[in-house]
């Protein structure tokens, strides 16, 4: 692929790259090449968790199909995540269960009232989760639960399988 050197670009030059086609060159805007396949929002009150997960998922974009890049957004405050939530923007929420001010189930319930199409994966440090008790308290689907600590490799694999 050929990309114009910066010295040949001006502020008015559109950023194009070229790839060889069968008998021609295919031009495309570089920003179009960088589009994301899916968007996720990670909500956890521990900043080191969101930072680590974001970095791991973004790093995985370099090793996966370029057509399946994941855009990652994070929030360390469930109330802020709820107030800033955009319907039909995210494909998946990765939500910690135990957070101050609002637990992950309450947050998911309120977000699903805004956007019924977003998928939700819950995260928990709890060694044992009583699914039956949770289903009685929270009538939302508990299909995806990821136990922390979790390896980045497993996290990425699980997120990608939920998004497929």
Per-residue pLDDT 10s for the chain (164 aa) are 444 444 444 444 444 444 444 444 444 444 444 578 999 999 999 999 999 999 999 999 988 777 899 999 999 999 999 999 999 999 999 999 999 999 998 999 999 999 999 999 999 886 656 767 666 666 666 668 898 999 999 999 999 999 99
Closest CA to 157 of 63, 41, 43: 63
38-163 adopts what CATH topology?
A: Rossmann fold (3.40.50)
CA angle, residues 37, 40, 41, in degrees to nearest 5: 160
Domain coordinates in residue numbering, the chain: 2-33, 38-163
pTM for the full predicted model:
0.75
Alpha-carbon separation of residue 69 from 53, 61, 64, 83, 113 (angstroms): 15, 5, 7, 26, 27
pLDDT at 31: 47
């Amino acid at each position: 692929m050929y990309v114009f050197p910066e010295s040949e670009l001006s502020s008015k030059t559109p950023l194009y790259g070229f790839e060889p086609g069968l008998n021609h060159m295919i031009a495309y805007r570089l920003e179009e090449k960088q589009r994301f396949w899916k968007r996720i929002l990670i909500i956890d009150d521990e900043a080191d968790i969101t930072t680590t997960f974001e970095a791991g998922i973004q790093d995985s974009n370099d090793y996966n199909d370029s057509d399946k890049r994941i855009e990652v957004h994070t929030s360390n405050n469930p109330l802020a995540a709820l107030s800033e939530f955009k319907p039909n923007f995210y494909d998946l929420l990765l939500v910690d269960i135990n957070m101050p001010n609002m637990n992950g189930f309450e947050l998911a319930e309120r977000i699903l009232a805004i956007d019924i199409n977003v998928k939700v994966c819950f995260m928990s440090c709890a060694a044992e989760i009583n699914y039956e008790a949770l289903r009685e308290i929270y009538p939302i689907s508990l299909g995806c639960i990821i136990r922390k600590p979790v390896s980045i490799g497993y996290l990425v694999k699980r997120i990608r399988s939920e998004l497929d």
